[in-house]
Copies of this chain bind each other. A is one copy, B any other.
Amino acid sequence: MPSIVILGAGAMGSGLANALVRAGWEVNLWGTWLDDHLIDAIEAGSPHPRIDVVISGKVTTFRSDDLAKAMDGVDVVALSVASAGVPKVVELALPGISKAQALWMTTKGFLPAEDGTIQLLPAGVRAIAEEAGVELPPIVAIAGPVKANECAADEPTATIFGCKDKDVAVKYAREARSDNYAIEPSDDEVGVEVCAPMKNVYAIMLGIADGLQDKTGHPHHNLKAATFAQAVREMSILSVALGAKEATAYGLPGVGDLEVTGLSGRNKVYGSRIGRGEGAKTALETMKELEQTVEGVPAIPLAVNLVEQTDASLKERMPLLFAAQQIVYEDDPNYADVLAQAVLPPRP
């Protein structure tokens, strides 16, 4: 029976815990210093506060001061904390990670290095390990169209495990599989990592098209579809520029994850508010008051920096990303035109 410790008892970590119990794994779930209330609920057998699903009683829970015990002797470590928590948690967990056979990562995002360059998360984790003189096991990037609540509740879910060593991806895709949790193995770590934060940005833009319907009283489906197609194109362009395979953006991590993120979720809701005419800044304040983090917002300037540091000529091929910057950060009142200009094919 393979064993894992999942670091972070939030939505995705807890959803993964349930899926792995079903696949026959021994699961330790470690909560950070911010997760005590989540661990309380899990231990009480109450629904997880973030996803409203009960976490299996077979999961062994650990509090933040029990990290060493939680990591003791496990085959795999999974990093499932918020991206802002990655540096600190990785530093604390390095001794345990170095003894594991693999480091899985469900956490996604762009990580600014100290010199200001933008890294994908695995590169950031590798840099932390290198600085500490610790050797890491293979990293498995986990992404794709997975709402954690559905994953936890055993609804049919397709995900992707991306590891530079394809054999490692295949091994875990096989071992973690259960009837309703299905994994596509891939050797494209970079593609998986790029699509995940970018789709949050583009989901805001899809939301704007929805909001325009509320504002004007008639649908903007053609605009939304053009936005979707352009978003997929841009995820592919950026991925390829960073060394990923084109196919990844056209599969589960790109097309699939954009579909699910554009269906619902906070990024889409925020975009709808902009589309309805609330103003980008006002709408963001409203989201904050509702304690709704909009992941796509901080991702925009990081993505812009990443594009500029990678290849400045990408800019003209990624007009939708720059339209997102103009709408969200410059609060452009002509957002409807800005969006349409970015996604309609140019005059030939």
Chain A interfacial positions (CB closer than 8 Å to B): 145-147, 150-151, 153, 155-158, 170, 173-174, 177, 180, 182-185, 218-226, 228-229, 232-233, 236, 250-252, 255-257, 259-260, 263-264, 340, 343-348
Contact = CB atoms under 8 A, between A and B. Distances in A.
Contacts of A155: 218-220, 222-223
A158 B348 contact: no
Contact of A150 (B150, B221, B228): B221
The oligomer's copy count stands at 2
A222 B173 contact: no
A30 to B, nearest CB: 25
Contacts of A147: 219, 221-222
Nearest to A172: B348
A222 B257 CA distance: 9
Given A155-B222, A259-B259, 12 more contacts: A145-B226, A147-B219, A156-B222, A157-B226, A173-B345, A174-B347, A183-B345, A221-B264, A222-B260, A224-B259, A225-B256, A250-B250
A334 to B, nearest CB: 13
Nearest to A228: B259
A66 B186 CA distance: 60
A260 B259 CA distance: 12
B225 A145 contact: yes
B185 A222 contact: no
Q: Which residue, of A177, A183, A222, A345, has the highest number of chain B Cβ atoms within 10 A?
A: A222
Contacts of A263: 221, 224-225
Q: Which residue, of A219, A223, A256, A347, has the highest number of chain B Cβ atoms within 10 A?
A: A256
B256 A228 contact: yes
Given A229-B158, A251-B233, A340-B156, A345 B223 contact: no
Q: Which residue, of A147, A251, A259, A346, has the highest number of chain B Cβ atoms within 10 A?
A: A259
B229 A251 contact: yes
A257 B221 CA distance: 10
15 contacts: A146-B222, A158-B226, A173-B345, A174-B348, A182-B345, A182-B346, A183-B348, A184-B345, A225-B257, A226-B252, A228-B256, A229-B256, A232-B255, A233-B250, A233-B251
A181 B246 CA distance: 29
A145 B156 CA distance: 28
A225 B346 CA distance: 29
Top 5 A-B pairs, shortest CB-CB distance: A145-B225, A229-B256, A182-B344, A158-B226, A225-B260
